[in-house]
Amino acid sequence: MLMPITESFKIAIRSIRSNKMRSFLTMLGIIIGVAAVIILVSVVNGYMSTILESFTSMGVDRVNVSVSNMSSRSLDPDDMYEFFDERYDLFENMTPSVSVNMPLKNGNETMSETSIGGYSEDYIDIVDYDIQYGRSISYADCEAEQNVAVLGYYTALELFDNADEAVGQCIKIGNNSFTVIGVMERQDEDELEEGGTDDFVWLPYSSAAKMNFSRNISSYILTLRDTDQADEATAAIESFLLEIFKSDDYFNVMANSSLLDEMNEQIAMLSMMLGGIAGISLLVAGVGVMNIMLVSVTERTKEIGIRKALGAKKGVIMQQFVIEAAVTSSLGGVLGIIVGALGTSLVGGAIGINATATFMAVVVSFSVSVGIGLLFGYMPASRAAQLNPIDALRTD
Segments making up each domain of the chain, as ranges: 5-55+262-394, 98-216
Residue 299: what pLDDT?
61
Beta bridge partners of 110: 105
Question: What are the tens digits of pLDDT across the range 278-299?
Answer: 667 667 777 776 776 666 666 6
Residue 213 — pLDDT band, cuts 50, 70, 90?
confident
Strand pairing class (219-224; 131-134): unpaired
Other Cβ atoms less than 10 A from the Cβ of 243: the count is: 8
Q: Which of 102, 35, 42, 27 is nearest to 337 (CA)?
A: 35
Residue 204: what pLDDT?
96
Q: Which of 263, 251, 220 is nearest to 56 (CA)?
A: 263
**Are residues 292 and 22 in contact, defined by beta-carbon separation less than 8 angstroms?**
yes
Q: What does the DSSP assignment read for 149-215?
A: EEE-HHHHHHHHSSGGG-TT-EEEETTEEEEEEEEEPP--SS---TTSTT-EEEEEHHHHHHHTT--
pLDDT at 338 over 70: yes
Q: Which of 288, 282, 363, 279 is nearest to 325 (CA)?
A: 288
Residue 52 — pLDDT band, cuts 50, 70, 90?
low
